[in-house]
């Protein structure tokens, strides 16, 4: 099981009975936040203040479409609470769901409703979605378990496919690119090579990842190997190579950069530059 830097704040919301178990460790996103995915919710916060948590808008991210809000038709006598979201238009929340929310941070945590409560025929339950989570109502469950958050965390991972330093990286989830400052350079000059690692889904940089650079002669023999620094928040890392005074005019030098993290298959990018005195 993963620990969480958000534990204090999550205990205030109800702890594991509300969040579900952690599906990932906390990891840094390219926008500089710490993020962690749980069975039911996705939490993020500034690394400097992990107690000031926010929840990602998971329902929208996993493809749950908002329903059109309507005028109020029910009130507390119908065991419903009406929440207006656009003028006098809004959604009805059944009292058991409203009570559950009030015990777990209220609408300030869940956000406004985005659907009415709906029968999920195949599951035999009712579901209502809010901006950051969905609640399921189990009619035949014991009273304490009638209302529970829906398990949307795995669906979020399947869509967003965050690349987590220390986790296993799927080659299909990232794009590794490289560039060199000088396509041609004198054997007396230094060359700088930069790699950029991005998430295929979002185009965001992947921070905190290592890579190794191998430089080869035209015949494939190795000239040198060196480690890149870890990628920065934008997914970039650069390495400067020493001058190559022993090389001849016209030598085409080949390089390959490969990620050093745990990958299901090698993730590498190739490039070259020309010695031109």
Mean pLDDT of 9-23: 93
Question: Nearest 5°: CA angle at 166, between 31 and 200?
Answer: 50
DSSP characters for 129-169?
Answer: EBSS-EEEE-TTS-GGGSEEE---HHHHHHHH----TTSPB
**Per-residue burial over 182-213, b = 16 or more CB atoms within 10 Å of its CB, e = otherwise:** eeebeeeeebebebbbbbeeeebbbbbbebeb
Q: In the predicted model, is pLDDT for residue 201 greater than 80?
A: no
Q: What is the pLDDT of residue 172?
A: 87
Tell me the pLDDT band of 1, cut-offs 50, 70 and 90. Answer: low
CB 95 within 8 A of CB 128: no
Tell me the pLDDT band of 166, cut-offs 50, 70 and 90. Answer: low
Tell me the pLDDT band of 165, cut-offs 50, 70 and 90. Answer: low
CB 248 within 8 A of CB 220: no
Note the pLDDT tens digit of each residue in 232-269. 888 999 999 999 999 989 999 999 999 997 788 899 99
Report the chain's terminal Cα–Cα distance, integer Å.
58
Q: What is the pLDDT of residue 31?
A: 74
183: DSSP letter: S
CB 274 within 8 A of CB 251: yes
Note the pLDDT tens digit of each residue in 96-148. 999 999 999 999 999 999 999 999 988 889 999 999 999 999 998 998 899 99
Category of 79 on φ-ψ map: left (φ > 0), alpha (ψ -120 to 50) or beta:
left
Q: Mean pLDDT check: name the lowest of 9-18, 28-37, 73-82.
A: 28-37
Q: Which residues contact 250 (CB under 8 A, 6 or more apart)?
A: 274, 275, 276
């Amino acid at each position: 099981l993963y620990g969480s830097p958000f534990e204090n704040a999550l205990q205030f919301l109800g702890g594991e009975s509300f969040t579900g178990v952690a599906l990932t460790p906390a990891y840094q996103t390219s926008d500089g936040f710490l993020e962690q995915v749980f069975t039911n919710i996705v939490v993020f916060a500034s690394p400097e203040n992990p107690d000031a948590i926010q929840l990602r808008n998971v329902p929208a991210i996993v493809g749950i479409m908002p329903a059109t809000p309507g005028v109020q038709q029910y009130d507390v006598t119908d065991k419903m609470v009406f929440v207006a979201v656009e003028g006098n238009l809004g959604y009805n929340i059944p009292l058991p769901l409203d009570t559950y929310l009030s015990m777990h941070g209220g609408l300030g945590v869940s956000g406004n409703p985005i659907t009415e409560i709906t029968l999920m025929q195949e599951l035999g339950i009712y579901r209502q979605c809010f901006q950051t989570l969905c609640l399921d109502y189990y009619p035949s469950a014991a009273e304490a378990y009638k209302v529970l958050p829906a398990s949307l965390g795995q669906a979020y991972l399947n869509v967003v496919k965050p690349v987590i330093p220390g986790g296993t990286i799927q080659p299909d989830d990232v794009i590794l690119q490289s560039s060199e400052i000088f396509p041609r350079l004198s054997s007396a000059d230094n060359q700088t090579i930069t790699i950029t690692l991005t998430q295929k889904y979002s185009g965001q940089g992947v921070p905190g990842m290592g890579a190794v650079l191998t430089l080869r002669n035209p015949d494939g023999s190795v000239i040198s190997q060196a480690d890149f620094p870890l990628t920065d928040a934008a997914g970039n890392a650069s390495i400067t190579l020493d001058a190559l005074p022993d090389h001849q005019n016209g030598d085409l030098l080949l390089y390959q950069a490969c990620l050093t993290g745990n990958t299901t298959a090698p993730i590498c990018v190739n490039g070259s530059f020309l010695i031109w005195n």
